[in-house]
Structure 1
Amino acid sequence: MASNFKSSIQRGCDFIHDFACSLCEEDGLNTEAQHFCNQCTKYYCVNCVSTHNKLYKRHTVLDRKDVKKWAAPPGMVDVLERCDRHPGEALKLVCGDHDQLCCHVCVAVDHRHCSSIQHIPDVAKGIRKDPEFRQLPKRVLFIRKQIEDMENDRKKSSSSLRKARTAFVDEIKAIRRKINDILDKMEKTTVQELDGLVADQEMSIKKDMESCTQMHEELKSLMDYIQSKDSSGEPPLYIGFRKCKEKIKQATEILQNMSTVVKYDITFRKHNGIEDNLSSMKTFGELNESNVYCKQPLISLFPRDYVFATGGYKEYNVSMSSDKHTCAIEGICELPGGEVVISDYHNMTVKLLDQEYRVVDHCDVPKYPLDVCHIGGNEVVVCVNKFGVRRELHFINITKGKLVTTRKLSFTNNCYGAAYHGNNLYISSYTALYVYTMTGQLVKKLYEDKSGGYTVSKIAISNDGKTIFITNYSNDQLITLDNLGNKLAIFTDSDLRKPIGVHATTAGHVFVCCFESDTVLQVDKDGKTKLATLAREQDGVYRPQAFFFSSRSSSLVVGREKDTLLVLNVR
């Protein structure tokens, strides 16, 4: 098999060699000779010379270094004059049109229409006097020198590459050792910080437990005293009664202080670009206490500069058997426990969903429920508005899986969108933004735009309260204000057509949904630049009207004029 393969390669080679292997030629092969034997006066290729050397160990064999000592091979002229394309034919002609040497077959097949076919003996007359021919030895020597230099350069390059590899490997290993040292120090420092935070938290927990134990024992002792003096007359009982009341008051205050911390916890968020900045960092990441306080949102799991991407979606049916119309979800918000509250405009009801987005309760409201806003704990407010008739904000408390309306506020302006910050309510009225106290007292009109009918649609407020985002439905804009009502930015984009819902997370991410372009966008914290178009109609977004970003489930919950709630997974 190997011999046949070698023969096919050699037979297919039409190169003209200055010296051809004698043995290969006898087999009809064309192989360049690399050796010459003075005794045999024959030429041998790399393969054939080994056979010769086994048979004739005392013969003197010359290699290419002594090529000048090789005898001229008989029949060399015949080899040179052989046609490359037709080896059995001699080169007799030259085509001036193509500047090619030809045999008769070449002319008959490929040069029948050429006008300049000449006989080689005629063209070759006076060749020795031709200046170009006379320079030929020098040119060949020059090009051979270049070839030799190129070969030597390649050999040097190969050697240099091997040396460079060795040097780079040593450098890489040295860098790795340095990085390992840095990582070891970072790990040690990070763990020390973690242990310190855990110790502080445990100390707070221990103090709470000790206070609970002390109050428990003191109250028990007082009750034991009162019960023991039950038959001793009223004065001792009165004294015990007063002290017990005082102790209950103390216990209540202690419990209230303790209850502000729902859960002691610690979070860890690694440094962005840690791989590129290891040498400048002291720890693997930033450690922060993340105690969960009552009426405070959970800390975001995503850094402020994080750009999200969607990763599929699901739809959840939120209709009820009592619904008379297709759902139109105008408002969405999430409770600390993961439950979701939505307003159904068409069916004039507010619905409570569990963490699996199943309807677990509802309460009817007058015409028409619009935006929903979480104001703390398990309490939300719902905008209820009918032009010229009803402009109200309903307060709803969620207790043991039930929606209970506790009170309502009435306004002179329309009530379309709502946001809450700093114990104030921010109410949009389609063309203006108002600030009210929790008791319904007007603080001020913060912003107004009468250039269209829906220039102030829904609103979102940054976690620090310094930035306010407004969707301008009429003019296809996202407006950014400071907390004094000054306009900071106007954002427009081809994907921002009829923006309606806007949401700002506690970490500073800003999202906008657009009714006409069927899109959900992420915008930078300043409201100036689009970071991503997260979803389109092909992702299930069709005529969105409200939405909410859930940090608990890392998803965007989108409400539409449809019986299903769209939940987009983000990453």
Structure 2
Amino acid sequence: MYCKNHDDVGCGTCIAIDHRLCKDIFYIPKFLQNNTCTTTIREIQQKLDSVAKALKEQQENFKLERERLLKSKTATLESIKKFRKEINGRLDELETNTISDIEDKYKTFINEMEESIRILERSKVSLKSARDKLKLASGNKLQNFVNVKKGENIAENAAKSIKVNQLQTPFKDVDFTGDHRLASLLHEINVFGKIEQRIVMKTENIGTVNIHKNDSLLQVKGSTKYVVKVQSDNMRCDIVSACTLEDGTIILSDYNNSKLKRLHSSSYTVIDYCDLQWRPWQVCSIDKQQAAVCLRDKKEVQFISLSSKMALTNKIKIGFACYGLSYADGNLYISGDTSVYIYSVSGRKLKQFSKDQSGQNLFSDTCSLAVSEDGSKIYVDDFKNGVIILDNNGAVVGRFNDSQLRGAYDCCLTGRGSLLVCGNFSDNVLQFGLNGNLIGEVVKFDDTSASHQAICCNQQISKMIIGRDCDDNVEVYDLI
């Protein structure tokens, strides 16, 4: 039987079941008497051959992709082992340094003890000699008088030596306590680093994919204010920094009230906050489990656990007033007034950038920074010198210092090939390409009663969050 509606053939039973609602059902011998088959066996053969070829090619592509994945897996696992060896090497180095320090301290103490023993031994010999001479006393009154007086002097000097050693040489020892930051870090992390999936796009498929234009200017279509003051705040809010976390919530750095405040991803209400020991500056996300913030005048970076309730964990001392803070490629990027530093999360200084290629000072008054995900570019907001872009070796690869941007204060990377910078004095937000080329002005603020300073975007780049100086609200702008 033949179903013309579905262009399908089958036995009478199958047609009766599968095509019972179809109208054009024919008995094939009768159908062929009245109709000429337009498709030849040769054409169908060619079509089958073509599809078979395509299937074979696709199968080969998948086999090649499987081989590539296996090689990639091997390379990735090797990189993990290499990373582990680097950690082991660093731990061996720390062990060697620690043992060397302890050896030096014990050596000093033991040398002191040995010197005291030698002094006492000399006194002991002198005492024995004096005692022996007194035992051999003769009838010579002159000699006896000399021996007695010498014995008195030797006894007195020995007693003084004992007293001096008792007063000046208290017993010493060395205690070792492991650095709690190492144990804390190992306890907090579950894997060696960030594991992410990525799409490997073949060259021939790029043309069919909708690629976001990096140079398209973001625009705003309205804004709403949300209160971020909490009951325990003693002063008006001063939001100096903001960042988006992996779960979509937003962290604000409130300088005046020494707090970090966590906002809901859509209602922008404060759902959590934590008190800091000092006034904070720039805050950044480390991963879904923790964030970090600069405590400027405390000269340290504080880590915060991002559990259901934010909590302070470990911290690292850096020895300078810190403003900018970002995390990328496993390291912390920190700025002081006139320098940018790269630190390990354990607190070891890796690099410092202060001068340009000609030996001139790079910065004068840094406020914040942002870093590309792979750490290849560092975007620094300098309040006096605009935006300065460095590569990972500290070479200047881009600058913007123009009257359109006055008082560069805070910045954020959109994740779509552009950088947003908030101008504190120019009361605007400018959008730049990743090489520092100006794309345009996203918004010019009408209300200048308080300085606009903190900026971040939500994950969809559909909202832009702005924090202000001495203002209990944040402004959330709709982006188009």
| TM-score scaled by length of structure 1 | 0.47
Deviation of the 1:551 alpha carbon: 2.8
Q: Counterpart of 2:430?
A: 521
Matched residue pairs, number? Answer: 292
Paired with 2:326 and 2:463, the residues of 1 have a C-alpha distance of 21
Residue matched to 2:178: none
**What SS does the corresponding residue of 1:323 show, helix, strand or coil?**
coil
Q: Identity across aligned pairs (percent)?
A: 29
Paired residue for 1:483, among 387, 392, 395? 392
Query: Taking CA–CA contacts closer than 8 Å with sequence separation of 6 or more, which of the two structures ends up with the larger relative contact order?
Result: 2
Distance in 1 (CA, whole Å) between partners of 2:442 and 2:397 is 24
The correspondence for 1:498, drawn from 407, 421, 434, is: 407
Separation in structure 2 between the aligned mates of residue 261 and residue 488 of structure 1, nearest angstrom: 29
Distance 1:429 1:415 in 2: 5
Letter matched to residue 549 of structure 1: C
**One-letter code of the match for 2:232?**
S
CA–CA separation in structure 2 for the residues paired with 1:347 and 1:419: 22
Does structure 1 conserve the Cα–Cα contact (< 8 Å) formed by 2:248 and 2:459?
no
Q: Select which of 252, 277, 285 maps to 1:374.
A: 285
| Whole-angstrom CA distance in 2 between matches of 1:457 and 1:266 | 35
Counterpart residue identity of residue 467, structure 1: K
Identify the residue that residue 326 of structure 2 maps to in structure 1: 419
* Superposed CA offset, 1:500-530 (max 9, x none): 1121233321111010010100012111x32
Match of 2:348 in 1: 441
1:535/1:541 contact within 8 Å kept = no
| 1:449-488 map, 5 Å | 454-475=364-385, 477-488=386-397
| Aligned residue runs from structure 1 range 55-70, under 5 A | none
CA distance in 2, matches of 1:365, 1:441: 23
Distance 1:541 1:500, change over 3 A: farther
Partner of 2:462: 554
Counterpart-to-counterpart distance in 1, 2:315 and 2:284? 14
CA 1:487–1:284 in structure 2 vs 1: closer, same or farther (change >3 Å)? Answer: closer
Equivalent of 2:243, from 333, 352, 358? 333
Mark the runs of 5 or more structure 2 residues left unpaired by the alignment: 1-53, 70-189
Matched, 1:358 2:269: yes
Whether the 8 Å CA contact 1:463–1:506 is kept in 2: the answer is: no
Shift of 1:422: 1.4
What's 1:537 paired with?
445
In structure 1, stretches of 5+ residues that fail to align are 1-188, 205-255, 272-280, 288-300
What's the offset of the Cα at 1:540?
7.7
C-alpha separation in 1, matches of 2:206 and 2:393:
40
The separation in 2 between residues aligned to 1:428 and 1:260, in whole angstroms, is 24
- CA offset at residue 452 of structure 1? 10
- Cα distance in 2 between the residues matched to 1:283 and 1:446: 38
Cross-structure match for 1:222: none
Asked whether 1:509 is paired with 2:399, we answer no
- Judged with a 3 Å threshold, the aligned counterparts in structure 2 of structure 1 residues 452 and 492 are, in CA distance, closer, same or farther, namely closer
**Displacement, 1:490?**
2.0
For 1:67-86, what per-residue CA distance to the aligned partner results, in whole angstroms no more than 9, with x for missing partners? xxxxxxxxxxxxxxxxxxxx
CA contact (8 A) 1:350 1:362 kept: yes
- 1:286 paired with 2:209, answer yes
Tell me which structure has the larger Cα radius of gyration.
1
Tell me if structure 2 keeps the 8 A contact 1:395–1:406.
yes
1:384 equivalent to 2:298? Answer: no
Q: Which amino acid aligns with 1:533?
A: E
Mapping for residues 304-323 of structure 1, pairs under 5 Å: 304-323=214-233
Distance 1:547-1:282 versus aligned 2 partners, 3 A rule? closer
Q: Measure how far apart 1:488 and its partner are.
A: 1.7
1:338-384 alpha-carbon deviations (Å, 9 max, x no partner): 11111111111111111121111111112211110111123110111
User: What is the alpha-carbon distance in structure 2 between the residues aligned to residue 426 and residue 523 of structure 1?
Assistant: 21
Is contact 2:214–2:433 with CA below 8 Å preserved after alignment? Answer: no
Residue 448 of structure 1 deviates from its aligned partner by 4.8
Rounded Cα–Cα distance in structure 2 between residues aligned with 1:431 and 1:537? 29
- Identify if the C-alpha distance between structure 1 residues 359 and 305 changes in structure 2 by more than 3 Å, giving closer, same or farther: same
1:539 shift after superposition: 7.2
**Match of 1:512, SS?**
strand
Alpha-carbon separation, structure 2, partners of 1:265 and 1:525: 21
Contact 2:433–2:439, Cα closer than 8 Å, also in 1: yes
- 8 Å CA contact 2:456, 2:465 repeated in 1: yes
SS in 2 for 1:565: strand
1: CA distance, partners of 2:315 / 2:300: 7
Give the corresponding residue for 2:168.
Answer: none
CA contact (8 A) 1:435 1:442 kept: yes
* CA distance in structure 2 between the partners assigned to 1:302 and 1:565 by the alignment: 29
Q: Please show how residues 342-357 of structure 1 align to structure 2 within 5 Å.
A: 342-355=252-265, 356-357=267-268
Q: 1:515 touches 1:542 (CA, 8 Å); kept in 2?
A: no
TM-score normalized by the length of structure 2: 0.55
Residues 391 and 414, structure 1, Cα contact 8 Å, conserved in 2 = yes
| Cα distance in 2 between the residues matched to 1:346 and 1:489 | 34
